[in-house]
Amino acid sequence: METVRIGNDTVSEQPLWSAGAPANSGMPPGRTKRIHCVDLFAGAGGLSLAALRAGFFVVAAVENNPHACDTYRTNLVSDSFPVLYQQDITALSPSELMRAHFADGDVCDVVLGGPPCQGFSVHRFRNAGVDDRRNLLLLTYFEFVVALQPKYFLVENVPGMLWERHRPFLDAFYSQGRQSGYCVYPPVILDARDYGVPQRRKRVFVLGVRRDVTHPAQWPPPATHGSPRLCAENPKLKPWLVCGPVFSAPVPDGDENDVHMNHSPALVEVFRNTPPNGGSRTASGRVLDCHKNHDGHSDVYGRIDPYQPAPTMTTACINPSKGRFVHPTEHYGITVRQAARLQTFPDTFVFKGGIMAAGCQIGNAVPIRLGEQLLKVLYDLAWSHP
């Protein structure tokens, strides 16, 4: 157990970025069969890593981005598993994937995946994104569900997918689920900080359960952490984790992800003039033309407050011009490693493709600690079902 002092508070937590992903054996102690899963739109492998930690045998993963695939292979592929399909998922036949991996009597227990969410993004205004072809990938995901017939499937996406203008896609998804023999649970918005992640991050999760298998007693699983008010009402809750330890703990020697953006001397001076521990750009004395007569985007070039959960790690999380992504006390944007820690990736997990590609992979990932808690529920159900 590591104890980290943040100001006058002492926080005792097992480091969230410690190693510990199990080998892809799918046979935790006391269990006598493998529980198989397939990860679609796998990205760098956040959900795959969470699945491994929950006990799954990850059979296959599908991802198109070459940098994300390089990261996935580097960290997660061992002894030829998972089999990584580096290609456009729309060019991959669901029936061929079924025959390749489940033709000999093995069953697919769980299908995972987060279809690209840019079409549903909250940063797209008015009717932007309505006709975005990426929205159709939600239905492509279900084509694999139909072919693989898993006991459970889990979809992750941004809250924007629930906006009224995207309703046709979600309605079609639910309709296909019902017609294919699944009970598709209502979408739930979960905040990662409620599950022990030191970051404010709201995402939508949709669970599907085949009608002939056991349903969860409670979904989603109960939160483990909460606000001061909720902790006072429920003594079982732990306080939200602050993000300070992410920045104060040492980084392993030679970590290739211990890098941040190179900033101009003028921008470094702006950071130097920005108050530490949560200061905003407005206090730096720097006002750009785009900021004049404009009240929005006040967080850009702001410092992260180490006494609070961090802001949401976006695909531009290592770029201070895109949000509150400046180090709490140092005069530069956060490093790739610090962003990864805020997503609870272990320090042993190495991101490939350079600093911008790494930031994008981190921002697209499901926090490991959140994913593990959700998938542990599905693992236990799948293991108990014949």
- For residue 168, with 0-12 CB atoms within 10 Å meaning exposed, 13-18 middle and 19 or more buried, which class applies? exposed
**Of 117, 243, 317, 360, which residue is the catalytic one?**
117
Estimate to the nearest angstrom the gap between the alpha carbon of 63 and the chain centroid.
15
Q: How far is CA 27 from CA 32, 50, 59, 108, 145, in A?
A: 7, 15, 13, 15, 24
Can you name the residues that pair with 380 across neighbouring β-strands?
Answer: none
Estimate to the nearest angstrom the gap between the alpha carbon of 112 and the chain centroid.
12
Report whether 84 contacts 118 (CB < 8 A).
Answer: no
Q: Is the dihedral of CA 256, 259, 261, 263 positive or negative?
A: negative
Can you name the residues that pair with 81 across neighbouring β-strands?
Answer: 78
**Gap between the Cα atoms of 184 and 175, Å rounded:** 9
The yes-or-no answer on residue 117 being catalytic is yes
Report whether 150 contacts 210 (CB < 8 A).
Answer: yes
176: which 2 tokens?
């296909």
Q: Among all residues, which ones are annotated catalytic?
A: 117
